[in-house]
Amino acid sequence: DADVTQTPRNRITKTGKRIMLECSQTKGHDRMYWYRQDPGLGLRLIYYSFDVKDINKGEISDGYSVSRQAQAKFSLSLESAIPNQTALYFCATSEEETQYFGPGTRLLVL
């Protein structure tokens, strides 16, 4: 079984809809991250959490929110999706310096 899982793997939604992307990990890491990846723009950090009670904004947090439900679970929400949030979303965990990425969620907002 994969150490970092993301659901759903693909999602199509409409402008204005609320959507949640979920991430679970079995690595036992305290630190978790959400990134988005766009062609030509690389990986950009949305939010990160260093433990269950710690939530921090990243480079591009506007339009997103997160919830750290447990050490193993970190969810990303788009409260009102817009087309420019169409991207590939990655969850990651880390132990010290090494980050381990989930398989990604491909999101299309129409």
- Interaction site with another protein (CB under 8 A): 33, 40-45, 48, 50, 58, 90, 97-104
For residue 38, the minimal CB distance to another protein (Å) is 10
CA 105 to chain centre: 8
Half-sphere exposure of 44 (CA within 13 A, CB side): 16
Nearer to another protein, 20 or 43 (CB): 43
For residue 104, the minimal CB distance to another protein (Å) is 6
For residue 98, the minimal CB distance to another protein (Å) is 6
Torsion of Cα atoms, 55 then 42 then 99 then 83, to 10° = 50
